[in-house]
């Protein structure tokens, strides 16, 4: 159980481009835990079983736990670790996944593969997520595809307003756990009449 939590932490720290030292502890009477040494922000994470049927990070969902029902999600992010983390989790949850590393590739793949939903990083080289979303929402072939925007730039309300103005259907601040991304995508698909 702790190995999965450790793997999740390692993925998140790579996504945030920071390293986080941690130590493993096992009490005779208590659960496994990870302690983050920090005088400014003490944190303790217990390795406890999830309360819901959400597949654990790093473990495939059982067929009955898969929610995606084969829906295609386009994951767009210029940071490879983040792209792979979200893609892997969505695959475990039962979605098919396509990926793109910038907005221009995202537009091309959305037009050719017609995904059911798009997870769009907003800050990318070549073409950012705002411009890619505007192009997709202006095209009648792709305008109904829901777009979930991801951004680490969340100070103030401008990023959310800009994402909404570009046509994004939802906004998630970074760092965002893969489980949260999957739940938002599922909600967007349900609002569009998808399973």
The predicted-structure confidence for 103-131, as pLDDT tens digits, reads as follows 999 999 999 999 999 999 999 989 999 99
Q: Is the pLDDT of residue 99 over 70?
A: yes
CATH number at residue 158: 3.40.50.2300
Q: Are residues 74 and 137 in the same domain?
A: yes
Provide mean pLDDT across the span 47-57.
Answer: 41
Phi and psi angles of residue 153, each rounded to the nearest 5 degrees, phi first? -90, 95
Query: Rounded to whole angstroms, what are the CA distances from 131 to 12, 77, 123, 143?
Result: 27, 14, 10, 14
Q: What is the per-residue pLDDT for 11?
A: 60
Predicted confidence at residue 3, as pLDDT, reads: 56
Predicted pLDDT at 23: 44
pLDDT digits (tens, 9 = 90+) for 61-87: 344 445 667 899 999 999 999 999 999
Residue 88 pLDDT > 90? yes
**Residue 144 covered by a domain:** yes
Answer whether residue 181 is part of any domain: yes
In the numeric block, the tokens 């695959």 are attached to 91
User: Rounded distance, CA 169 to CA 87, Å?
Assistant: 20
- pLDDT level of residue 20 (50, 70, 90 thresholds): very low
> Which residue segment(s) compose the domain that 8 sits in?
2-46
Task: Render 48-75 in DSSP notation, one character per residue.
Answer: ---SSSPPPTTSPPPGGG--STT-EEEE
75 inside domain: yes
Helical ranges in the chain per DSSP H: 2-15, 80-92, 103-113, 129-138, 158-166, 178-191
Give the pLDDT band (50/70/90) at residue 45.
Answer: very low
pLDDT of residue 152: 85
Helices (H) and strands (E) in the chain, counts: 6, 8
Q: Is residue 58 part of a domain?
A: no
Is residue 170 located within the same domain as residue 133?
Answer: yes
Residue 14 pLDDT > 60, yes or no?
no
Position 52 scores a pLDDT of 45
More confidently predicted of 128 and 49: 128
- Whole-number pLDDT of residue 40: 39
Residue-wise pLDDT tens digits, 134-145: 999 999 999 999
Q: Are residues 130 and 67 in the same domain?
A: yes
Q: Using CA atoms, how far apart are residues 148 and 98, in angstroms rounded to an integer?
A: 15
Per-residue confidence at 15, pLDDT binned at 50, 70, 90? Answer: low
Residues 6+ apart with CB under 8 A from 172: 148, 149, 150, 180, 181, 184
pLDDT in tens, 156-192: 678 889 999 999 999 999 889 999 999 999 999 998 8
What's the pLDDT at 166?
95
- Which residue's entry shows tokens 């767009």? 76
């Amino acid at each position: 159980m702790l190995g999965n939590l450790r793997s999740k932490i390692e993925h998140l720290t790579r996504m945030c481009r920071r390293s986080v030292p941690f130590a493993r502890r096992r009490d005779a009477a208590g659960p496994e835990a990870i302690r983050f040494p920090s005088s400014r922000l003490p944190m303790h994470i217990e390795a406890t079983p999830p309360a819901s049927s959400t597949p654990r990070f790093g473990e495939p969902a059982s067929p009955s736990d898969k929610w995606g029902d084969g829906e295609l999600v386009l994951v767009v992010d210029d940071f490879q670790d983040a792209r792979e983390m979200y893609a892997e989790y969505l695959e475990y949850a039962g979605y098919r996944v396509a990926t793109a590393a910038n907005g221009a590739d995202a537009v091309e793949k959305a037009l050719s593969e017609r995904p059911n939903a798009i997870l769009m990083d907003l800050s990318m080289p070549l073409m950012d997520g705002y411009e890619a979303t505007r192009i997709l929402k202006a095209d009648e072939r792709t305008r109904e595809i829901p777009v979930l925007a991801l951004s680490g730039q969340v100070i103030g309300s401008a990023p959310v307003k800009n994402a909404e103005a570009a046509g994004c259907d939802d906004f998630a601040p970074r760092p965002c756990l893969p489980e949260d991304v999957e739940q938002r995508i599922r909600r967007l698909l349900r609002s569009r009449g998808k399973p």
